[in-house]
Chains A and B, each alone.
Chain A
């Protein structure tokens, strides 16, 4: 049903902003916020792919476990009652906790499941990642059944869990403004931007970053140059996991609920973003993430939520037809 027919001309408490503009700005804000979250998780996918050519299906589910850990911490410390400054402190704790957990778990998974298969065909690795994803989903399911009140009390393992709103949703532009910008969006920006900067610095200016780029380009040559390839790959998983952990806590605070299956949807979005931007390319992942976030928000608003996944994938397919390596992906020349 077209919303335009229901719009009342004189909405704005924001002088000079037409209702259509108000809606556009709101969608923009939502799209950018969601996009940044997707970008954080997409970076994990793209880094791992860049270095060992593995589509790490387990990444989304790994992040889910980080979210469950965050909820456990909330339950253990009674954080659901915190708000204001204490809320922000709580969020900081959750960010660090989840990031550390995801980083460590990712490293363990690489060490135990993927490292023995370094020389195996790609499909073998892929199926291992799929298997790992199943295992992690089941762990999340069990975790959700923990007899804590934040999890619904122990007999609702499969149900989505409410994630307390530690950061207020009050409109920073004023109660009457129709354009909404809240502290939650600020949280998203405040977490994502510094992390992007830090990551760029790491990849461009540190030895580890240089090693990572070398291994991504040619692992054999890199090892001949004295780089410990396994260590570098492990570090990649750690960084990707940490970023995913940050991303998922922000996601949980922004959306207000988590479920044991959220890894699938989030992972799908993030993976699509990584491919859209050119898989293996870090700026590509960020660009892809922002694009997907905006695309979703505008599609939800101007079309209907039910068509959004179709729109996202249709755009992806179109982009890939005209730019087969993604938007910022390197053109691969087949060597004879």
Chain B
């Protein structure tokens, strides 16, 4: 009884977010808010964070290298669609192929490391992030090095290719992806696999004693997270019509995803969505808007280091993280299911 009421409350929040999101392009069109364009980035990060949520939130493995799989996804999409390579697939087949590549990459990179303990796994995933970035940068003949792979085509729906004129079709399509992945994650969460993951997160030894094949489950979580991250990467590349350079997929991206997951509420899908909105909304909406506005008002010149709001980004981010962890360590929307009476800290 209690559980259902919590669930139904959360579910309503999910739906509320979705409804608001559906209306954003309309508000944009009527009131000229210019929100849809930067919010597309927010959607892509939400997908990335959902992938990380499977690995860290559900299964409890600290993963500091999500950016590596995003990069793999972006470059896979780039190689499969750009006309300087022989493949030249269209959006949907390329995306499907990228997802598969993500799973394979996750399995390959995850396999030798599943036996590692918590923090050692973290440093190894950190290593993946660096290695993938470097390899992509250095194998110039395949990846175009720092120049990135471009131009890349956008999505095609009903025979119509998305272009750069209007952000609205992109927004809705990406919102659709978020919805699909949320549904997939919710189903995973409630499935046997999801419960196994949560058990491993709670106490791996006990889970093993209960017959859960921990290594296999962890690999599965890792690969799933990698696949979702690859999708995020492909969507990112498609959005910018370019993979950009490998340095775009550096540790900052992994850390940002981690912060979204933890600040939003580890394991809580709605929390991740709210966290993505809060953190990316801050970085991509609030800051640049404030910067332009201050510049228009003439209050700010480029001269003083304090004047440029972009220079405050790290400080505010850091403060939010420190304060959040101090006063609300479980995140904005913690997982309430599974924390009933008798649950350990």
Contact = CB atoms under 8 A, between A and B. Distances in A.
A130 B258 contact: yes
Contact of A138 (B255, B315, B326): B315
Interface stretch (B43-51, B80-88, B110-118, B147-155): B110-118
B234 interface: no
Given A128-B321, A135-B314, A309 B134 contact: yes
Contact of B205 (A121, A122, A124, A336): A336
B131 to A, nearest CB: 5
Interface residues of B, number: 51
Given A117-B326, A313-B131, A321-B113, A138 B120 contact: no
Nearest to B326: A116
A273 to B, nearest CB: 11
A111 to B, nearest CB: 13
A139 B326 CA distance: 21
B321 A138 contact: no
Nearest to A134: B318
A317 B124 contact: yes
The 3 A-B pairs of least Cβ separation, nearest first, read: A145-B305, A131-B321, A134-B318
Contact of B318 (A132, A145, A271, A336): A132
Interface string B307-330: 000011111011111101110010
B318 A55 contact: no
A266 interface: no
B141 interface: no
A186 B166 CA distance: 62
B258 A310 contact: no
B263 A121 contact: no
B27 interface: no
Nearest to B312: A138
Contacts of A272: 123, 127
Given A124-B325, A275-B123, A135 B311 contact: no
15 contacts: A55-B123, A120-B329, A127-B262, A127-B325, A130-B321, A131-B321, A135-B315, A137-B314, A138-B314, A271-B123, A313-B130, A313-B131, A317-B112, A317-B127, A321-B113
Given A131-B320, A142-B311, A316 B304 contact: no
A272 B62 CA distance: 16
Nearest to B56: A123
Contacts of B255: 130
Nearest to A137: B314
A264 interface: yes
A48 to B, nearest CB: 12
Contacts of B311: 138, 141-142, 145, 157-158
Nearest to A157: B305
Given A113-B326, A306-B138, 8 more contacts: A120-B329, A121-B345, A127-B263, A130-B258, A131-B317, A131-B322, A142-B306, A310-B130
Interface residues of A, number: 56
Given A144-B305, A157-B311, A128 B322 contact: yes
A279 B123 CA distance: 11
B112 A321 contact: yes
Interface string A90-123: 0000000000000000000000010011011111
A324 B126 CA distance: 16
Given A123-B62, A127-B263, A128-B321, A145 B134 contact: no
B235 interface: no
A332 B117 CA distance: 10
A275 B128 CA distance: 15
Interface in A43-96: 49, 53, 55
Interface string B93-126: 0000000000000000000110111111011101
Nearest to A57: B255
Nearest to A53: B119
Nearest to B321: A131
Interface of A: 49, 53, 55, 113, 116-117, 119-128, 130-139, 141-142, 144-145, 154-155, 157-158, 264, 268, 271-272, 275, 279, 306-307, 309-310, 313-314, 316-317, 320-321, 324-326, 332, 334, 336
B119 A316 contact: no
Interface in B263-319: 263, 266, 302-306, 311-315, 317-319
A316 B130 CA distance: 12
B231 interface: no
A113 B322 contact: yes
Classify the interface of chain A: helix, strand, loop or mixed. helix
A128 B135 contact: no
B259 interface: yes
B251 interface: yes
Given A314-B131, A316-B127, A138 B318 contact: yes
B119 A310 contact: no
A336 B203 CA distance: 12
A314 B178 CA distance: 34
Interface in B216-247: none
A134 B321 contact: yes
A310 B133 CA distance: 9
B40 interface: no
Nearest to B133: A309
B319 to A, nearest CB: 6
A325 to B, nearest CB: 8
Contacts of A130: 255, 258-259, 318, 321
A14 to B, nearest CB: 34
Contact of B329 (A121, A134, A136, A317): A121
Contacts of A268: 126, 130, 251
B314 A134 contact: yes
Given A155-B302, A264-B251, A134 B134 contact: no
A154 to B, nearest CB: 7
Contacts of A336: 205
Nearest to A260: B314
B266 A134 contact: no
B137 interface: yes
Contacts of A113: 322, 326
A145 B128 CA distance: 34
A142 B305 contact: yes
B266 A123 contact: yes
